Structure 1
């Protein structure tokens, strides 16, 4: 009988469609919002909104194309159904991720319609494992895109809304889609990661998933609110955010990450990791990172808990403002809840199994090492 931890079910297939739906809506809504700013002569906001959209698209297309080439080197020449030139053209027009969605949905639909009598249990396990490998590639691309496009978009739109103290329908939709894109990327990546690596203990659903999601979303959104308030205090805070990105990128460089097959692409990956570390903590190299995580969240707490009082001190006219009181309450409440969930998750709910440390990536035999496997275990770990 097929083991449930590697079963690509009908529900999983439907959730893939939902993920595609959210992906398209998020992009189109942000493009629509950029056009709105353009017609209102807000050219800087329009340009920044478009810049975040295309930065996420561009980086995800680059990694998608390289991963296709890596898969072909492993002997999966038909995985994309196209030549190298055709694949390159497809990614140049930013359709590479959609191409992955199409093949996953097509192959998954055929599999979920099969009856158990049409193939052996071993054949089903192999096919379902391949589907989860395809889903994991997509989830990794979506995670990169979420922190290059959706998270910065949340910050930009919150800054604009808090500065104007007005909220349009399109801005509200942008906030909602960006938030759900980040949430979906976190949950989907967490769900697919270990199911594509059957030698590693699966992350259970239910309470562990809920607590992990609350930890990530509360810490990320409260941090973004803090950044937006600091930007209201002074636009030059962007210089500080750039320095934070440089620190994160340098740390990834010092750790000597080995996610990519070429040095140029590895440098790009480290730069992307730097962006992600501006918003949240991830295990960059699959090692025990207890000390690094403590340092990160001490710094995080200082920023979050000091920002509202600092804004009230330096801008007295906002002390009784509803938006400052609301934002301060969300920052404080989100920070406390997020940190409580972080402690609860890593003390009691984080699945260790064969992992010797809380975040250590090992347990795969040498015989299981492939380009795909090395890619997954060298990517960002929860």
Structure 2
């Protein structure tokens, strides 16, 4: 039976950590540039919108980082394996709290990951597990930061261009930075999930490429549809977001999410999931989720169609005559390509994983290569040496890779539900 094995820190991990902090700084710098441009031109409304997105994103990310820091301090394995202290300066809680209040916690995590990665990869020092642990947390925080800031800001910049019917250099820079941030998040997140797979089901870079394509091709039309709708009925976009956001948060609650270690943290996570679902699909529950995915895409497709029809009816025919029909056709083609690539990924690249609740003597060992077991090594029995494994990302990996999985039991006529992590 295959198990998820510990992933050693390599130069690729170090490279991703460095590129990740560079992407973060470039995205942050472009945000400051955009806000400054709006302020200097007297466009105070757009200035405050950009600043509001930056503050909201930063506060949400810092809250997640702080919740995780407090939880990690309680893990004996974590403290034992990180001889130099936890993420922030030898376990100094007050200093860590100040850094988070000053909105520097996320940046310090980046610096800590690069420092630890350099020690492990270049100097060949111990602490590989700790370095991998840090990179997994950063991957999840980048995902949150992307959908709290980059995706909304990309929508905002496209809306401003449509509303004013002109574009400045700073807006193109902001669009490029936001798109790069989204693209990098998609690749980095998928790569982090892949590290939890058993050796028998390891995926190559081609799987990340297909995963990247279907996400980007589905997110782009969604962002464009929101921007087009806002360009004709800007007063209703906030109501649209609040209405759909509430629906998505309730849906996340109904799916019984169990990601954080406190009630307040869990509701913060559900609210964040609602924001992510506003732009893209994100699996939060274990088990076969084909039905949930179909429901989500049907809902989003219908919503997107309503947004585009509304824009078509309220648009200015003179200003949009040169590109309206072509834009609609291209958005439809891109969206269909995104669904096609997603289908291709799950048919050809996504391993079908199953996790029997109990290892029975009669369970066959010679399973097909496409059907392998997935287990979180952090809950292995005491006969095995404990590993410093990131439970949060392991949980997401179990959710993601059980998505189209085959669940078996010793009785071939019955299906067994997978156990929770």
Larger Rg: 2
Residue 182 (str. 1) matches residue 189 (str. 2) = no
Aligned to 1:138: 138
Alpha-carbon spacing, 1:223–1:198, altered in 2? closer, same or farther (3 Å): closer
Residue 37 (str. 1) matches residue 38 (str. 2) = yes
Aligned to 1:101: 110
* TM-score under structure 2 length normalisation: 0.80
What's the offset of the Cα at 1:22? 1.0
Q: Which moved more, 1:40-49 or 1:326-335?
A: 326-335
What's the offset of the Cα at 1:293? 0.7
- Please list every run of 5 or more consecutive structure 2 residues that lacks an aligned counterpart in the other structure: 80-84, 357-369, 401-421
Residue 258 (str. 1) matches residue 265 (str. 2) = no
CA shift digits 1:332-380 (9 cap, x unpaired): 2220110111111112211234468x9x995236337999643224448
What's the offset of the Cα at 1:288? 1.9
What's the offset of the Cα at 1:86? 0.8
Whole-angstrom distance in 2 between the partners of 1:355 and 1:200: 15
Aligned to 1:215: 214
What's the offset of the Cα at 1:158? 0.9
* TM-score under structure 1 length normalisation: 0.87
Aligned to 1:351: 351
Residue 61 (str. 1) matches residue 62 (str. 2) = yes
Equivalent residue pairs, number = 368
What's the offset of the Cα at 1:98? 1.6
Q: Aligned to 1:79, which of 50, 66, 86?
A: 86
Report if the CA contact (8 A) 1:194-1:202 is conserved: no
Alpha-carbon spacing, 1:112–1:231, altered in 2? closer, same or farther (3 Å): same
Q: Which moved more, 1:216-225 or 1:324-333?
A: 324-333
What's the offset of the Cα at 1:9? 2.1
Aligned to 1:112: 121
Report if the CA contact (8 A) 2:187-2:209 is conserved: no
Aligned to 1:282: 282
What's the offset of the Cα at 1:318? 4.9
CA RMSD of superposed structures (Å)? 2.8
Whole-angstrom distance in 2 between the partners of 1:97 and 1:361: 34
What's the offset of the Cα at 1:89? 0.6
CA shift digits 1:65-112 (9 cap, x unpaired): 221221111133412224110110111111111211112111211222
Alpha-carbon spacing, 1:20–1:326, altered in 2? closer, same or farther (3 Å): farther
Aligned to 2:99: 90
Q: Which moved more, 1:133-142 or 1:36-45?
A: 36-45
Aligned to 1:227: 226
- Please list every run of 5 or more consecutive structure 1 residues that lacks an aligned counterpart in the other structure: none
Whole-angstrom distance in 1 between the partners of 2:373 and 2:152: 29
What's the offset of the Cα at 1:315? 3.0
Whole-angstrom distance in 2 between the partners of 1:129 and 1:157: 40
Aligned to 1:364: 376
